[in-house]
Structures are given as structure tokens and as C-alpha cells.
Amino acid sequence: MRCRTCPRLARHWDWFLRYRGIRLHWTVPACSPVCLELWKGRRMIDPNPIELAAMRQAGARAGDYIDSLGRTDMAGWSEPEWTAFIAAICGGYVDALIYQQLAANEAAGKVTGVPF
Ligand SMILES: [Zn+2]
């Protein structure tokens, strides 16, 4: 199994430390304490309102894609259909973040008079 942060082999650092509460056990494969710490920082533990809005848009795009397929049984999807589904989700999320950034830039430009 590979580390979630880098391509090295995972060794499950901190996997079963007894002094930690059960909720704090890290189940992510990691090669080292450094990579484990990096992974912890990369996770979206507490999404902010902008990220939540982006998730809603990604969900809407996923729903639109499923509607366009006309088949809700994901077990029967082909690999290209799965790829397109994931692309719809990722694209919806990223697009939402970009649109929100553009709107924030425009609003900041109105206040400061400096175009961003
Ligand atoms: Zn690593």
C-alpha cells in the first residue's frame, strides 16, 4: 500500500497508539510522520462556506450527469461513464471556486478601485 501523501510504501505510522482516543486513530496509510502530518493538513476537515457552496454545485452537476445518462444504477456504468461522472463532480467543484474567486475579485475591485 502506498502513502497517501507521496509514492513511497506506507507503514501506517500512528496506527494503533494506545494513548489516543479511538476517534483520533489515523487510518490513512502513510510512510512517515512527516507525510502523516502533511496529509492531516491536506484534508478538508471543516469546510468553509465557500467550499460547501462548491460542493453543492458539484452535487448538482453530478445529478445533472446522472439524469443525462438516464440510468441511476452505478454498477452498470462503463468506465467512460464513471470518468465523466467524476469529471462532472470535480469540474463543478473547481468551477464554483473559480466563480466565487472572480466575484470576490470584482467586489474587491469596486471597493479599492484596483482591478484584480
Ligand atoms: Zn509519504
- For the record, the C-alpha cell of 114 comes out as 484596483
CA of 32 to the centre of ligand 1 (A): 6
The pLDDT value recorded for residue 112 is 80
CA of 40 to the centre of ligand 1 (A): 12
Q: Does the pLDDT of residue 16 top 50, yes or no?
A: no
CA distance 43 to 39: 6
Residue 64's pLDDT band, with cuts at 50, 70 and 90, is: very high
CA of 2 to the centre of ligand 1 (A): 8
CA distance 44 to 88: 20
CA distance 14 to 29: 10
pLDDT digits (tens, 9 = 90+) for 65-104: 999 999 999 999 999 999 999 999 999 999 999 999 888 8
CB atoms near residue 10 (< 10 Å): 19
Residues 40-68, mean pLDDT to the nearest whole number = 88
Comparing 4 with 58, the larger pLDDT belongs to 58
Comparing 51 with 15, the larger pLDDT belongs to 51
CA of 68 to the centre of ligand 1 (A): 40
CA of 51 to the centre of ligand 1 (A): 26
In this prediction the pTM is 0.58
